[in-house]
Chain A
């Protein structure tokens, strides 16, 4: 009886318990399947090869000294090599790998649990302090002042507190004027209508106070302001060549061939076109300069050489806060 029962159970299990053979399972893929594209692949190989050839060309041009002006060939070969590589990669991206569109969650707005934990961590860590405000202030005082101390040596980057050097020029009474070539200038070689550049003799030319622009105008046309009537012997005027707006060299001089129909003589700066009138002491007649051009008093020395008769009428170069309160000085 037991035997029969076992056989029955076995048969039922065999018939019903047998699972249907599942079809071979499709593997869970990460990247979805897409068909190959042999044409695109061929083009890709071609593009890679051309890119390699161009890069090889670059190396060849660098190695070959014989080619004269190399820049065009170098640029062309390197540029094309990169361009072909770029094309290859874009082709790869669009045709030879699968462009999937998947989505994933944005990161959560915030993490309240961790935020709370951080708050708690900091609060509990500070529990041993009894006078939190005082300790914090003292600590901040220490670190802050130390930080300032570490930054303090930066003041030696420049004469932060001594601004006298800003108003110093190499000009003083008796200083000789020399031209670009270093020769002293003579009064009778300064002709009307044209302009000349001059520097202080025996002084560094590459400072704001050194370059001058000289012009000659008829004495009758001069209207220099009050203390400067004698600053232009024979009508020769000397002005700082450095524009009082932004420090460019004033290398333009407009001089009318036909004054009846043309604007009057003026020194102009090429940067922002500040225009200065030499006849009235360098006043600004157009442009963004806020200060007239500083004038240098001249004197005609022995044998007709031009010498400075003092320092400028005002500080040279671009303005700064308080500039009008400074008088230009010469180094000791």
Chain B
């Protein structure tokens, strides 16, 4: 039967050579090369569960009153969007499972991208000729952050509504062009025109998924065109020849198994662990707020930045030039993504290495790069942790003001410490390996001498 299928495809589409090439394509199979695939499969789960959700979600902010099974919301005024999300959670078969799986998939998707990014940075996989692949990857991360933010804001619950107001304030804070830009996106001052919700919706369900999907395909095509990088594990692994497992029969079941594992984890989380219980928060109204409101984890670095910046607007004379949220909400992410985009270039310039690389290095083999990456990630991570200083104050009793001052200093000191520790650890590990090698060689020689005697 397989033979018939192959014959059919080849006669109709001339596909046999392409199929043979694809099925015998070689994949270096180190475990860390699978992290990007985890992100990709999480994206598939997102699209699948997302399509299901669009069949029920109403993207309108027109007010309505709730009269459904959840008693605490009975009679409350809310938008159609919020109500349809509550109905999804309470009245649609498998609706809550799909909602929760979709939200877990978003959290895990971005976590997987971050892990994949760390692997790329620490092994130097972004070097020539793969810079284009890398830029596309960083762009996908940026789009994924935006996509997640829009997704959980569409539901119009109290927490995400507060988050939208904050997003608006950051847009507004761009010097000179801020209010024009915010007026463009929102269709007027907050909460914006009625069309704003439709814009969020179409961006979230169509425009951004297509962009991310297209970039993903390009990313994969580029990886395939150049072949995946590999570690120098043996003399067989060279810059010219790639050693690995062919797609079929070796790699395909591994990859499919990973796909099922990702889907399994996400659906099990969607069952086991409650996420974003919007019916507990209530609908968003502009005059309402709650303590302890936080964005989803992947935007935690921004709330940390917004809380750390001291309270000042840059005013020249009487003219307000730079409102406060700009520093934490716009400049900080600009610097982080700017650093990510510029990393290949900066490294080439600073190391003088303009060569072509198909081999990647273990993190320990390039202590400077690993140390720089550690310092950079520590910087972002510390700002991220600073964003939950209020919860720490509640649970552990540490002074909030004290923590804020601590972080204001430590976000600069910490990365320096991380840099030195990482560099030292790498150097020591390499030195240890070298010592092992010398010892082994000496033992061999001694053994040979002994056996001769």
A and B are interacting partners: yes
User: Residues of A with Cβ closer than 8 Å to B?
Assistant: 30-31, 62, 70-72, 74-76, 78-83, 85-90, 92-93, 97-107, 109, 154-155, 157-161, 163, 165-166, 168, 197, 199, 205-208, 210-211, 241-242, 245-252, 269-274, 284, 286-291, 317-325
- Tell me which of A87, A102, A211, A288 contacts B26 (CB under 8 A): A102
Q: Considering the complex, which residues of chain B in the window 282-321 have a beta carbon less than 8 Å from any beta carbon of chain A?
A: 285-293, 303, 306-307, 309-313, 315, 318-321
- Tell me which of A86, A100, A325 contacts B264 (CB under 8 A): A86
CB-CB under 8 A from B225, the residues of chain A are 107
- Tell me which of A30, A89, A288, A324 contacts B253 (CB under 8 A): A89
User: Nearest chain A CB to B168's CB is how many angstroms away?
Assistant: 6
Q: Complex formed: what's the CA distance from A99 to B253 in Å?
A: 11
Q: Complex formed: what's the CA distance from A100 to B245 in Å?
A: 6
Q: Which of B204-212, B268-276, B433-441 contacts A (4 or more CB under 8 A)?
A: B268-276
Q: Which 5 pairs show the lowest CB-CB distances between chains A and B?
A: A75-B271, A290-B313, A89-B257, A211-B287, A318-B169
CB-CB under 8 A from A157, the residues of chain B are 184-185, 187, 199
CB-CB under 8 A from A72, the residues of chain B are 271
CB-CB under 8 A from B174, the residues of chain A are 321
CB-CB under 8 A from B93, the residues of chain A are 62, 70
- Tell me which of B169, B241, B328 contacts A106 (CB under 8 A): B241
Do B288 and A104 have beta carbons less than 8 Å apart? no
User: Nearest chain A CB to B332's CB is how many angstroms away?
Assistant: 13
Do A71 and B186 have beta carbons less than 8 Å apart? no
**A-facing mask of B240-274, CB < 8 A → 1, else 0?**
11111110011101101111110111011011100
Do A71 and B257 have beta carbons less than 8 Å apart? no
CB-CB under 8 A from A161, the residues of chain B are 180
- Tell me which of A207, A319, A321 contacts B191 (CB under 8 A): A207
Do A290 and B271 have beta carbons less than 8 Å apart? no
* Residue of A with least CB distance to B25: A104
CB-CB under 8 A from B329, the residues of chain A are 246
Do A270 and B289 have beta carbons less than 8 Å apart? yes
User: Nearest chain B CB to A105's CB is how many angstroms away?
Assistant: 6
Do B311 and A246 have beta carbons less than 8 Å apart? no
User: Nearest chain B CB to A311's CB is how many angstroms away?
Assistant: 15
**CB contact under 8 A between A103 and B183, given known A90-B257, A246-B170, A251-B288:** no
Do B286 and A206 have beta carbons less than 8 Å apart? yes
* B175 proximal to A (CB < 8 A): yes
Chain B CB within 10 A, most for which of A210, A245, A323: A245
CB-CB under 8 A from B426, the residues of chain A are none
**CB contact under 8 A between A270 and B293, given known A85-B260, A159-B183:** yes
15 intermolecular pairs with C-beta atoms under 8 Å apart? A75-B100, A83-B261, A86-B261, A89-B260, A90-B254, A102-B245, A103-B244, A158-B183, A208-B191, A246-B165, A246-B166, A248-B162, A248-B165, A286-B311, A324-B320
Do B168 and A247 have beta carbons less than 8 Å apart? yes
* Residue of B with least CB distance to A75: B271
User: Nearest chain A CB to B104's CB is how many angstroms away?
Assistant: 10
Q: Complex formed: what's the CA distance from A168 to B190 in Å?
A: 12
CB-CB under 8 A from A75, the residues of chain B are 97, 100-101, 267-268, 270-272
Q: Complex formed: what's the CA distance from A81 to B263 in Å?
A: 10
* Residue of A with least CB distance to B226: A107
CB-CB under 8 A from A98, the residues of chain B are 249-250
Do B227 and A158 have beta carbons less than 8 Å apart? no
* B401 proximal to A (CB < 8 A): yes
* Residue of A with least CB distance to B180: A160
Do B292 and A270 have beta carbons less than 8 Å apart? yes
User: Nearest chain A CB to B289's CB is how many angstroms away?
Assistant: 4
Do A158 and B186 have beta carbons less than 8 Å apart? yes
CB-CB under 8 A from A206, the residues of chain B are 191, 285-286
- Tell me which of A101, A159, A320 contacts B172 (CB under 8 A): A320
Q: Complex formed: what's the CA distance from A107 to B318 in Å?
A: 62
**CB contact under 8 A between A71 and B307, given known A101-B245, A318-B325, A324-B319:** no
Do A241 and B287 have beta carbons less than 8 Å apart? yes
**CB contact under 8 A between A104 and B26, given known A155-B184, A158-B187, A321-B178:** yes
Do A106 and B321 have beta carbons less than 8 Å apart? no
CB-CB under 8 A from A76, the residues of chain B are 268, 271
Q: Complex formed: what's the CA distance from A17 to B154 in Å?
A: 86
Q: Considering the complex, which residues of chain B in the window 187-217 have a beta carbon less than 8 Å from any beta carbon of chain A?
A: 187-193, 199
User: Nearest chain A CB to B46's CB is how many angstroms away?
Assistant: 15
CB-CB under 8 A from B256, the residues of chain A are 89
* B176 proximal to A (CB < 8 A): yes
Q: Complex formed: what's the CA distance from A215 to B166 in Å?
A: 25
User: Nearest chain A CB to B6's CB is how many angstroms away?
Assistant: 14
Do B319 and A319 have beta carbons less than 8 Å apart? no
CB-CB under 8 A from B101, the residues of chain A are 75
**CB contact under 8 A between A31 and B249, given known A208-B286, A211-B286, A320-B173:** yes
